[in-house]
Amino acid sequence: MTGLEAALILLAGIGAGTINTVVGSGTLITFPTLLAFGVPPVTANVSNNIGLVPGSWTGAYGYRRELVGQRPLVLRLLSASVLGAGIGAVLLLVLPDSAFEAVVPVLIGLGVVLVVVQPRLARRVAARAVLRERTGAPVREHEGRWVWPTVLGTGIYGGYFGAAQGVLLMGVLGVGVPQDIQRNNAVKNVLAGAVNTVAGVIFVVVADVDWAIVGLIAVGATMGGLIGARVGRRLPPIVLRTVIVVVGVVALTTFVVT
């Protein structure tokens, strides 16, 4: 690894940590970066997952004020995320590398689509909240029953690949949990952090890990998590979203061409 490559991976980690805290699509920055430097897809995915763990928890800590009073909800949904992450990580390890390489373009494409439609989804969620307030409809004290199995599904996805799992979680929480978006974003950061941690532990034990990459992404993602919690919310969402989409499209094009 050259000095320039190391610097670019570090910068990608910073970007991913920031984006994961604010929106949740950081893997669409780091994963294509690693592929561009010739890292095998499965090794890149595993190393990226482990490296993003510190940034996930830094972002969750940055949102600690929004987590006040949410312990019961977080504990209920954590069980789904942890179980799903274990299933997804095992699937990544037991399926042949060719299966992952074949599905990666689909997963990247899905991540890009989710990032593009996220604003519309957020507007619909906000409109539902306004409608409930105007009509005086009763507000549920707990999340919908379908939320737990859906969070389980996002955990499986996150353990297997993880790009835009935060966008998926925000969609689920926004529709199924009756509270404001910042409190849901705090829950999202905890759940995504748990998914990355569980999958990362499994990968450390049995997978082929590039520890130099892990270290660079970990340092960058930790810095990015702090930036995302303190500054990222002030950045124009269109800027972050545009960067993610461009990188994702470039990665997708590279896979299709090669």
In the structure encoding, which two tokens stand for residue 64, read together?
Answer: 């600690």
In the structure encoding, which two tokens stand for residue 21, read together?
Answer: 């805290």
Cα 256 to Cα 72: distance, rounded to the nearest angstrom: 45
Cα 254 to Cα 257: distance, rounded to the nearest angstrom: 5
In the structure encoding, which two tokens stand for residue 183, read together?
Answer: 């409190």
- pLDDT above 80: residue 134: no
**pLDDT band at 107; cut points 50, 70, 90:** confident
**pLDDT band at 140; cut points 50, 70, 90:** low
Query: Which range has the top average pLDDT, 30-44, 101-115, 162-176?
Result: 30-44
Report pLDDT digits (tens) over 221-252: 999 988 888 876 666 767 766 766 776 676 66
φ and ψ of 62, to 5 deg:
-65, -25
For 202, half-sphere exposure in the C-beta direction (CA atoms, 13 angstrom radius) is 22
**Hunting for tokens 């800590």 — which residue is that?**
61
Query: Which range has the top average pLDDT, 52-56, 83-87, 103-107, 254-258?
Result: 83-87
Count how many domains the chain has: 1
Segments forming the whole domain that contains residue 207: 3-257
**Hunting for tokens 């939320």 — which residue is that?**
147
Angle at 144 between CA 138 and CA 147, to 5 degrees: 150
C-beta separation of 220 from 13 below 8 A: yes
Closest CA to 85 of 112, 120, 50: 50
Give the predicted TM-score (pTM) of the model: 0.81
Cα 124 to Cα 128: distance, rounded to the nearest angstrom: 6
